[in-house]
Structures are given as structure tokens and as C-alpha cells.
Amino acid sequence: MYSLKANNISSSFSEIFKKIKTKGIIHYSKLVFQVLRKSLRPRWQRLFIFESQLEGIIPNEYKSTIEVKMLWEINEQLCSFANQRGAWYLQQARDLFLKGNICFVTVIDGKITSCLWTSFNQVYLPDIEYKLSVAKDIAPLIDGYTLDEYRGKGLYKILWNECFNYLVKSGKYSKLYGFINHANKRSLLVHDKLKLNKIILDITLIKFLGIRVHLKRKIK
């Protein structure tokens, strides 16, 4: 009996091995190799930080029927706008308001179509997973975003103009910071046209095997 059982077990293992060899092992080995190769490949993100002196900025004159608002708290319009970007954005908006920040928005037909936020004292830069602390006289402006169907209408320029006016009139700030992903060519072009192209810091995040390294390069 024991001999018969042993032969049956041996036969079963032999069949399993054949199936793995012919159908499984090659496929899964390739898959494992692809996963390992991807995980072992360093990933990186790069962000440019630019600076503008407020006293040197002349707000653009523009004629527009587009309504611009300043928000200090969540409202129904902002909720609707946030839902188009995801639950994470609504939570980010709440956090920014709790820290005393302001959201500048354009409104068309009762709908928020673009936004631009302040982030005083400290700003978290999710692209590179980095917290940047700034002096009290510096106003970082973050998360400039326009809904897809309203892009190309100059809404971003209008929001920057409103931000400049507000910050200059407040008398509390001498500089503002902006942030652009190096791959966002369109945004780089827009900021260049606005003469907001004085890059002062270049930060690159490199991730490899769970290790994060930030490479910072100051630009004079």
C-alpha cells in the first residue's frame, strides 16, 4: 500500500510539474521579472520653484466679464468643482482653509472653472513629496487648475492678476513663489509670458527601493 501511495504521489507531482512547466512557470517568471525590473528602476520627479518681487509686478489691465471671487471657506460651488478632481482635493481644500489660506476662483454661469490657492508659511509639494518652509514676507501660490473645457481662455492670467492685486494691497508680502513641474511645458510657457520665469530652486525627488532622496539645486 505504501508503495502504491508513493507512486500515486510521485505521479501527481509529476503532472503538476508538467503543468507548471508548460503553462505557468514561463509566464510567471516573465511577470516576476517585469515587476522586479520596474521596482528596481529609479523613479524621479522634478519641480521648479520661481520667485517674483511684488514691487516689480504691474498687474495686467484686462477687460473681462468673467467673475472672480475670493473664498475663505468651502461652499457649494467649490464642492462641485472639487468633486471633478476627486475626494482628495476636497480634503486638501479643507486643510488649506483651516490654515488661513485663500482660494481665488473664476466663475462662469454660476460654476467655478479655475482656481489658485495661497499657502502661507509652509507649503507641501505633493509632486516631490516635500514640505517647503518660507519666510513670512513670501506668499507661495499653489494648485493653479482650470477645468479642461475652459482652458485656453486666459483664466489663469486673470487669477494671477487678482492674486497680485490682493498681495500688493495687503502690504505684508515682498515676494511670491510659484511651482511648476518640469514636464508641464504649457505652464512653463504661460509663466514665461507673464514674466514669472525667475527660477531660484530646482528640486528633484528620486525614489529607489523605498528610499527617497531630494536633490536641491539653487539657481542664481
| Residue of 217, 218, 220, 208 whose CA lies nearest to 44 | 208
pLDDT tens column, 46-85:
888 888 888 766 655 555 678 899 999 999 999 999 888 8
pLDDT at 13: 47
Higher pLDDT, 30 or 171: 171
Domain ranges of the chain: 1-41, 43-218
pLDDT at 36: 56
Q: Tell me what the mean pLDDT of segment 181-190 comes to.
A: 75
pLDDT at 2: 26
Single pTM value for the model = 0.70
Burial category of 100 from C-beta neighbours within 10 Å (exposed 0-12, middle 13-18, buried 19 and up): exposed
Q: Please check the confidence at residue 170 and state whether its pLDDT lies above 80.
A: yes
The cell for 173 is 508680502
pLDDT at 157: 82
Q: Which of 1-5, 48-52, 158-162 has the lowest mean pLDDT?
A: 1-5
pLDDT tens column, 6-36:
344 445 545 545 555 665 555 555 555 565 5
CATH superfamily of 43-218: Gcn5-related N-acetyltransferase (GNAT) (3.40.630.30)
pLDDT tens column, 101-112:
999 999 998 899
The residue type at 22: T
Q: Please check the confidence at residue 192 and state whether its pLDDT lies above 60.
A: yes
Q: Tell me what the mean pLDDT of segment 210-220 comes to.
A: 84
- Of the pLDDT bands very low, low, confident and very high (cuts 50, 70, 90), residue 45 is confident
Provide the terminal-to-terminal Cα distance of the chain, rounded to the nearest Å.
86
Hey, is 184 helix, strand or coil?
coil
The cell for 54 is 511684488
Q: Tell me what the mean pLDDT of segment 197-211 comes to.
A: 83
Helices (H), the chain: 2-19, 25-40, 76-83, 87-98, 155-170, 185-193
Percent of the chain with pLDDT over 70: 73
